[in-house]
Structure 1
Amino acid sequence: MERRPMLKEHSPTTVHDMVADRSILLVDVREPQEFAAARIHGAVLFPLSSFDPTSLPAPDAVRVVFHCGSGKRSAMAVARCQQAGIQHTEHMAGGIQAWMAARLPTITLDPASGGVIDRR
């Protein structure tokens, strides 16, 4: 019988609070151009296209929560971790789309000027 990976989902508001109190490492698994266009304060970029779960801090050392654009790739990152025997199981439901819909702080680029917009 195939074992399904354990996946714990968090709302954007919950992730925002965890980032604010520094209880997690928020890992963005989108591609660099997506990260440059819009990102979450404190998130680190680790694209799924070059994702190596063994390069992450150990689960007993750091609590990792993944996020992406909509939640699909972050769930894939959790599955890859579990396939590698690494127990990082958490991601943000809805990705940065849900984060922005909740009007949480982001850093974006102004398409007209190319300038950075910091929405705190």
Structure 2
Amino acid sequence: MPVDLSPATVDGLLADRAILLVDVREPQEYAAVRIHGALLLPLSSFDPLALPPADRVRVMFHCGSGKRSAMAVARCRQAGLDHGEHMAGGIQAWIAAGLPTVTLDPASGGVIDRR
């Protein structure tokens, strides 16, 4: 089982630069709305061996609701990597908590940074 962390906890860890936040959603989801500083590694092409070792970097996963990020944790463990944390509720919970996002303006295609 992955270790669930709240969006508020993840936000604090990001602010402290204590984690590498990995978004395992697909590119079109990431383009529509994302967390500032999150790295995109879609689950559809996810390779746990592309991640830095857990003793060097604390990796945290997130997705839309928490299901795919839990799958990423499982794939890491199957590969022998100790990346076992993810954000409970995914970006939906992040948005519900009122935390900042980066989105695209559908009218102009411009980036909107909601900090």
* TM-score normalised by the chain length of structure 2: 0.97
Q: 2:72 aligns with which of 65, 70, 77?
A: 77
Residue 47 of structure 1 and its aligned partner are, at CA, apart by: 0.4
The amino acid that maps onto 1:32 is P
* Unaligned runs of at least 5 residues, structure 2: none
Match of 1:29 among 24, 31, 35: 24
Read off the aligned partner of 2:34 and give its amino acid letter: R
| 1:62 counterpart = 2:57 | yes
Deviation at 1:111, TM superposition (A): 1.9
Counterpart CA distance in 2 for 1:41 and 1:117 is 11
CA-to-aligned-CA distance 1:23-63 (integer Å, 9 cap, x gap): 00000000111111101011000000000001100000000
Question: Rg larger in 1 or in 2?
Answer: 1
* Mapped partners of 1:114, 1:70: distance in 2: 25
- Looking at structure 1, the residues matched to 41 and 58 of structure 2 have their Cα atoms a distance apart, in angstroms, of 15
* Inter-partner Cα distance in structure 2 for 1:67 and 1:92: 5
Q: Distance in 2 between matches of 1:112 and 1:95?
A: 26
One-letter amino acid of the counterpart of residue 21, structure 2? L
Structure 1: distance between partners of 2:108 and 2:96: 23
How many residue pairs get aligned? The number is 115
Q: Which runs of 5+ in 1 are unaligned?
A: 1-5
In 2: Cα distance, 1:85 partner to 1:56 partner: 12
Q: 1:9 aligns with which of 4, 27, 41?
A: 4
